[in-house]
Amino acid sequence: MARAGARDVILQIIRDADGEWSGKTRLYKAFYFAHLYYANERPGLLTDWPIARMPQGPGIHNGDALLGDLVREGYLTVEVFHEGPYPEYRYRLTEAGRQAGDLHGAVRWAIKEATIFCQGKTAAELSQITHERSRSWNQAKDGDILDVHIDTIPDGEYAEREREIMRLTDLLPTVLRDD
């Protein structure tokens, strides 16, 4: 199955939330979690759009540009509101946004699961989950592109893979000398 476009994933997240989504951090986390749900069901990537290490956890690399394109092209509107004294963003689909995209199968399922997972949580809760559980985020520096697939591997299996990589790395100089 072909990968989904990042734009289609964002639109579907908002569509699954009845056409409105509050919070940029929450939207970024839903995008990240959709990739994890997809990776758990299928080999490969949900999208080819990079996910980067951001201070509050994994997020959409160049997300402002991606969201800006969706606004300029008439798929999305963005409203600034205040959550207490702090500015926050509310994303709403336009009619064109409601009609765009035709996602189904594992792609559609992964996005729906991510949306459900994120809807009942605050940005702080979602960030805390990623800080505690995201191996890729914990191993990176701010701005690095993440290999989110390592976040879906059970700890024991990941440790075994790391040991095997170290063993092979230790053998490499010997193999190269023998050639």
The domain in which residue 129 lies consists of: 6-152
pTM of the predicted model over 0.75: yes
Let me know if residue 173 belongs to a domain: no
Domain count, the chain: 1
Q: Does 177 map to a domain?
A: no
Comparing C-alpha atoms, which of 50, 61, 48, 39 is closest to residue 149? Answer: 39
- Give domain status of residue 120, yes or no: yes
Is position 10 within any domain?
Answer: yes
- Residue 179 forms part of a structural domain: no
Do the domain assignments include residue 166? no
Q: What is the full per-residue pLDDT of the chain (179 aa) written as tens digits? A: 345 799 999 999 999 999 999 999 999 999 999 999 999 998 888 999 999 999 999 999 999 999 999 999 999 999 999 989 999 999 999 999 999 877 889 999 999 999 999 999 999 999 999 999 999 999 999 999 999 999 998 888 878 877 888 888 877 777 666 65
Six-digit token string for 145: 């592109």
Q: What are the Cα distances from residue 34, in Å, to 37, 115, 118?
A: 5, 8, 10
Give a yes or no: residue 169 inside a domain.
no
Task: State the Cα–Cα distance between residues 127 and 131, nearest whole angstrom.
Answer: 6
For 46, which DSSP code?
Answer: S
Q: What is the pLDDT of residue 155?
A: 83
